A and B are shown apart, each in its own frame.
Chain A
Amino acid sequence: MKIRNALNVKTPKPPSQKNEGSSLGIRNVKWLSFPYILWMVGFIIIPLIVILYYGLTTDDKSFTLDNIGAILHPINLKALRIALEQSLISTLICLLLAYPLAMILSKSKMKSNSFIVMIIILPMWMNFLLRTIAWQNLLERTGIINIVLKFFGLPILNIINTPKAIILGMVYNFLPFMVLPIYNVLIKIDKDIINAARDLGANSVQTFLKIILPLSLPGVVSGITMVFVPSLTTFVISNILGGSKIVLIGNVIEQQFRIGNWHIGSGLSLVLMIFILISMAVLSKYDKESEGSGLW
C-alpha cells in the first residue's frame, strides 16, 4: 500500500499555517541566539580584530603594510603557490571522487542509505590528528603498506614527505565534506524532473549534462568551499605527511606565531583570508540559492 500511495503523493500542506508557526516560534526564541552571539563576539570577532591589528602594525604600534607585503618574500610566495596548487589538486580529486559516489548514493533505493552516509562520515568520528598520524605510519618507508608490498615482491611506495602524501592526506580528510553537500542536493532533485527530461527526448547523458549537473551546482560549490578552504590553510597535514621538506603557507604562518612574530603571522593570515574571500565570491556567483550548505 505504501508504494502505491507514494506514487500519488498529494500533501498540499497549508503554507500559511506553517509560516505562522515558524515566525511565531522565531519571535519567541530569539533570545536563545544570545549565547551564540556572545561566543561569536568573544571567539571570532575579537580574535579577527586582534589579527587585523597585529597584521597592520609593527612592534612599536605604528601602522605598516610590511607584514602584508611579507607575502612577496620569495620563500613565502613559494609556500603560497604550493599551497594553492596542492589545495586545488586535492579539491579537484575530491570532486572527481565525490560526484559519482554521491550520484550512486542518491540513486540507490536501498534502505541502508543512511548507513552508507554514516560510513562516509565515520572517519570524522576519530580525531583528525590521529587519522593523519595513522597515514604517516602507513606510508612510512618501513610502514605497513610497504611491508605488504615487499612481502609480495612489489616495488615499495616512496611517497611519504612528498606533495603526493600531502594531497592524499587532504583528500582523505576532506572527502566527506565534498560528498555530503553534493549528495544532499542530488537527493532533493525530484525524480519527475529527470523523468521529464527523458520524456522530452533527452538520453541519460543529455539529462545529466543539462538537468542534473546544473541543478546540483549549489552542492558542488558548497563542497568545493568546504574542501578548498581547509586545504589551503592546513599546516598539520603538511607537517605530518610532508615532513619538514614541503612548506605550505599554513606552515609559514604557524612558524611565525611559534617564533613569536605575531605581526608577520597575522599579516600573512590576512593575505590568505583575502584569497579565500575572493574564491568564495567567485563561487557564490554559481550558488545563488545557497542550497546544499544546509548541512552546515
Chain B
Amino acid sequence: MTDNKLINLVNITKSFGDNIVLDDLNLYIRENEFVTLLGPSGCGKTTTLRIIGGFENPDKGQVIFEGKDITKTAPNERQVNTVFQKYALFNHLTVAENIAFGLKIKKKSKEYIKDKIKYALKLVNLDGFENRMPDSLSGGQQQRIAIARAIVNEPKVLLLDEPLGALDLKLRQDMQYELIRLKNELGITFVYVTHDQEEALTMSDTIVVMNQGYIQQIGTPEDIYNEPQNAFVADFIGESNIIPSIMVEDRLVNILGANFACVDAGFGHNKPVDVVIRPEDIDLVKPEEGIIKGMVTSLLFKGVHYEMEVQAHGYDWLVHSTDLVPVGSEVGIRVDPFNIQIMNKPESEDEEAVELEI
C-alpha cells in the first residue's frame, strides 16, 4: 500500500427519487489498498461502488481517478473491473469465452488470450474448466470465474460487490483466504463491499463503516474494533456493551454510579457520554475485588468461550470468558482502563446503535 491516492470521491451526493442514498460523501482510496465498505443494507455502500464502476452517476460531486475527473466516463472506458454480487456470468458462453470477453474486445492476440485464460484459471484454482458452461458450476466456482474474468483485464482497481454473499459459511471462509492471496499476488487495489463485519475485519487494510448514506468511521480493522467512534460502529462491529455514562473528568468515567479509570481525555467535566466495553474485556472477579458487584443471570456455552449476562447496577452486562461462572453467583466486575472506550453521544440518527429486529 502506498500513499498515492488512486481514487478520490469528492462531495458525492446521490438520491433515488426522494431517497437520499449518499449525502456529501468524501473518501479516498490509496493504491494497492484493500478497502472494505461495510454497513447494513441501504447504507449506500453498493451505490458508492457502482459510482466508482460507472454504473450510477452521482447527482453532485466528482470521481477522481489518478488525478483525472472520470465522473462522466462510461464504464467501458474506466480502468476498473467489477465482480458482481450474483456473478453476472454470461451463461451463453463457456468459461473460457467468459474470461476472454474483455480481452477480445480489446483485440488482444489469440496466444495472449489463451495464456491469460490459463493463468487466470490457475490463479483461481480452476485449471481445466475452460470448456464448461457457467451454469454447470457451483456457486463458489462461478464466483471464482467472475473474479478471473475481471482480473485478466489487469484493472488498476477491482471492485467486489458482496461477492461471497451467496456462498455457505465454509466456502466463504476459504474464499476470504483466496481473496487475500489474490490481492497479494496481483498487487492491485481492491474495493470490497460487504455487510459482514467478520469478512471486513479479516481481509481489509482499511474499513469504511457506513450508515444511512454517511461514513461513520474510517480506520484499520484494529481501530474500528477497539476504538469505535460512535454507538453505531461499536454496535455494528462485534458485540459490545454500550452504557450511558458521565465523564467526570479526564481519565475518570462514572459508569452506572461507580467510578472507573479510563485513558480518554478531553471530553470536559461531568459530560454525558456513551461507554463501549467489549464483552471479552470484562474481568469477573470476587465480589469484594470488583469495582461494581453483580449477579450472573444467564450462561451459554459458545465453543471458544462462555457467554454470560451479569445483572449489575440495573444493566445487563454481556461478558465473554473462558472461565465458567455458574448462574446465580455473586461476582465483581473490573475493566482495565484501556479497554474502556468513551464516545460522544450520537448527534444524528445514523450514529445511533441499530435496534436488532427479531
On chain A, the residues within 8 Å of B102 by CB distance are 200-201
- Count of chain B residues near A, Cβ 8 A: 38
On chain A, the residues within 8 Å of B53 by CB distance are 195, 199
- Give min CB distance, B8 to chain A, whole Å: 21
Q: Is A10 an interface residue (CB 8 A)?
A: yes
B82:A199 contact, CB within 8 angstroms: yes
A3:B17 contact, CB within 8 angstroms: yes
On chain A, the residues within 8 Å of B338 by CB distance are none
With A and B bound together, what is the CA distance between A211 and B55 in angstroms? 17
Q: Is B165 an interface residue (CB 8 A)?
A: yes
Contact for B81 among A12, A199, A206, CB less than 8 A: A199
B165:A10 contact, CB within 8 angstroms: yes
Q: Is A197 an interface residue (CB 8 A)?
A: yes
- Give min CB distance, B156 to chain A, whole Å: 14
B interface residue numbers (CB < 8 A to A):
16-17, 19, 21, 41-42, 44, 46-47, 50, 53-55, 74-76, 80-82, 84-86, 88-92, 101-102, 105-106, 149-150, 153, 162, 165-166, 195
On chain A, the residues within 8 Å of B41 by CB distance are 4-5, 8, 10
A197:B101 contact, CB within 8 angstroms: yes
Q: Which 5 A-B pairs rank lowest in CB-CB distance, beginning with the nearest? A: A200-B102, A4-B42, A3-B16, A192-B88, A196-B88
B19:A193 contact, CB within 8 angstroms: no
On chain A, the residues within 8 Å of B150 by CB distance are 199-200
With A and B bound together, what is the CA distance between A190 and B92 in angstroms? 13
Least CB separation from B82: chain A residue: A199
Least CB separation from B81: chain A residue: A199
B88:A195 contact, CB within 8 angstroms: yes
Q: 12 other contacts beyond A4-B41, A199-B75, A202-B101, with CB at 8 A cut-off?
A: A4-B42, A7-B47, A192-B84, A195-B88, A198-B54, A198-B74, A199-B150, A200-B102, A200-B150, A200-B153, A203-B74, A214-B92
- Give min CB distance, B57 to chain A, whole Å: 13
A interface residue numbers (CB < 8 A to B):
1-5, 7-8, 10, 12, 190, 192-193, 195-203, 206, 210-211, 214-215
- Give min CB distance, A2 to chain B, whole Å: 8
A201:B92 contact, CB within 8 angstroms: no
Contact for A193 among B21, B42, B88, B165, CB less than 8 A: B88
With A and B bound together, what is the CA distance between A214 and B89 in angstroms? 14
With A and B bound together, what is the CA distance between A196 and B105 in angstroms? 13
With A and B bound together, what is the CA distance between A1 and B41 in angstroms? 10
B88:A190 contact, CB within 8 angstroms: yes
B81:A8 contact, CB within 8 angstroms: no
With A and B bound together, what is the CA distance between A202 and B106 in angstroms? 9
With A and B bound together, what is the CA distance between A125 and B280 in angstroms? 70
13 CB contacts below 8 A, A to B, read A4-B16, A4-B19, A5-B41, A190-B86, A192-B84, A196-B82, A196-B84, A198-B54, A199-B53, A199-B54, A200-B102, A201-B106, A214-B92
Least CB separation from B53: chain A residue: A199
On chain B, the residues within 8 Å of A202 by CB distance are 76, 101, 105
